[in-house]
Amino acid sequence: MVTNVTSMGRSGVSDWLLQRASAVILLAYTVFIVGYILLTPELDYSQWRALFDQLWMRIFSLLALLSIVAHAWIGLWVVITDYLTERAIGSKALVLRLLAQGVLALVAVTYTLWGIEIIWGF
Amino acid sequence: MLKVEVYRYNPDTDKTPYTQTYEVDTEGKDLMVLDVLELLKAQDPTLTYRRSCREGVCGSDGMNINGVNGLACIKPLSECVKNNKLVLRPLLGLPVIRDLVVDMGQFYEQFRKVEPYLQNDTPAPAIERLQSPEERAKLDGLYECILCACCSTACPSFWWNPDKFIGPAGLLQAYRFLADSRDNATEHRLSKLDDPFSVFRCRGIQNCVAVCPKGLNPTRAIGQIRTMLLQRAA
């Protein structure tokens, strides 16, 4: 069996399932937000704030945020293991791949923590 | 006169591959591409390609014909020639040995991985392992593969990771034995496929389905394997 410690769930089925589940959540969130904006003609700060003051909206937003992280991780991992490989670009591939993965992890963690602060912080 | 551009490369004498242009008189007939190659071979005996049965059964003459993989022996000119021009290249993604002949080693290695033979550790019955017509019908669309490699070499996932992704041809055969009621190594087979590359590197773009000269559907077989893996794991 081919394994790769940098994949999201270490298993093909797990990544595949997570990719689809997160896609469904992101679709639902996008449809909801776009729908809310379109159906609220005079949207102002207090209304927007009231929406995000509700517990279910905060959970929904956090779920969407975590879904983006998982979805991007799995998707970009596939991309970098296609193109940043020893076969494609030679011996510097490992360093470049781990570097790309590191940047991705840093961005993911930063956005998650920052997002949690924005949604739950005040 | 039909204009034919052929990929030429002889590693003993050529530094890099090049394209050679020939003119062939087809006498207005709708020849098969292999017939054209035979005419070229008479013109230029150094031109090299594989062929054997010349009727789409042996899978020797898979090649890239005007940009699309296919078997030269069963591809009529009327289906591929555009603007009176025919472009012949070796199958993509495999090392070229000479001209249109590629090294199929990597392709066979992936085929070997799926253990493409019946496995059953129960005692053999006196005569044979019986199968109902319904059970047998499940193998239709799977067993007909001739291993010409047209599908796997049309697959970008196989181009990038030919050592890790099994490829459409190998996965079609993997499912052929997973679906066989006489085979009881299902758990063993699935356990070898549950990683991020072997099966899941398939992105479902269906190049394999589009080029298969036997009209088979590897993408559907891959979907079935994925369902089996999900049922096993979830």
The range of the structural domain enclosing residue A78 comes to 12-120
Residues of B in contact with A3 (CB under 8 A): 195-196
Residue B109 forms beta bridges with which residues? none
Q: Which residues of B108-132 are buried (b: 16+ CB within 10 A; e: fewer)?
A: eebbebbbeeeeeeeeeeeeeeeee
Residue A115 domain-assigned (yes or no):
yes
The verdict on residue A25 lying in a domain is yes
Question: What's the gap in Å between the CA of B165 and the closest CA on chain A?
Answer: 9
Q: Report yes or no on A86 lying in a domain.
A: yes
CA distances to A39, A102, B166 from B151, rounded to whole Å, are 49, 35, 12
- Chain A residue with CA closest to B188: the answer is A1
**Cβ pair A13:B194 closer than 8 A:** yes
Chain B residue with the nearest C-alpha to that of A12 = B196
Test A11 with B226 for CB contact under 8 angstroms.
no
What's the structural domain count of chain A? 1
Distance CA A69, CA A32 (A): 19
| Cα–Cα distance for residue pair B174/B188, rounded to 1 Å | 12
Cβ-nearest to A11 among B163, B192, B195? B195
In this prediction, residue B100 carries a pLDDT of 98
Q: What is the mean pLDDT of residues B11-28?
A: 96
State the average pLDDT over residues B136-146.
97
Of B161, B191, B200, the CB nearest to A16: B200
Q: Does residue A2 lie in a domain region?
A: no
**Chain B residue with the nearest C-alpha to that of A78:** B201
Across the interface, whether the CB atoms of B197 and A14 are under 8 A apart is answered: no
Task: Say if B110 is an interface residue toward chain A (CB within 8 Å).
Answer: no
| Higher local confidence (pLDDT), A4 or B184 | B184
Query: A88 CB near a chain B CB, below 8 Å?
Result: yes
Of A12, A17, A87, the CB nearest to B195: A12
Of A1, A78, A87, the CB nearest to B195: A1
Q: What are the structure tokens assigned to B95, written together?
A: 């090392």
- Distance from the A3 Cα atom to the nearest Cα atom in chain B, whole angstroms: 6
Q: Answer for the pair B151, B168: CB distance below 8 angstroms, yes or no.
A: yes
Residue percentage of chain B with pLDDT more than 70: 100
Mean pLDDT of B141-168: 97
Domain-embedded: residue A21: yes
Domain of A34, CATH number, reads 1.20.1300.10
Residue A1 has a pLDDT of 52
pLDDT tens, residue order, chain A (122 aa): 566 777 887 789 999 999 999 999 999 999 999 999 999 988 999 999 999 999 999 999 999 999 999 999 999 999 999 999 988 899 999 999 999 999 999 999 999 999 999 988 86
pLDDT tens digit sequence for B35-46: 999 999 999 999
Mean pLDDT of the B127-152 span: 97
Residue A110 falls inside a structural domain: yes
Task: Please indicate if any CB of chain B lies within 8 Å of the CB of A46.
Answer: no
* Angle (CA) B31 B34 B37, round 5°: 100
What integer best gives the mean pLDDT of chain B?
96
A51 falls within a domain: yes
pLDDT of residue B191: 94
Structure tokens at B5: 């551009």
Given this model, what pLDDT does residue A10 score? Answer: 77
Q: Determine, yes or no, domain membership for A7.
A: no
With tokens 């190049």, the residue in question is: B207
pLDDT of residue A122: 62
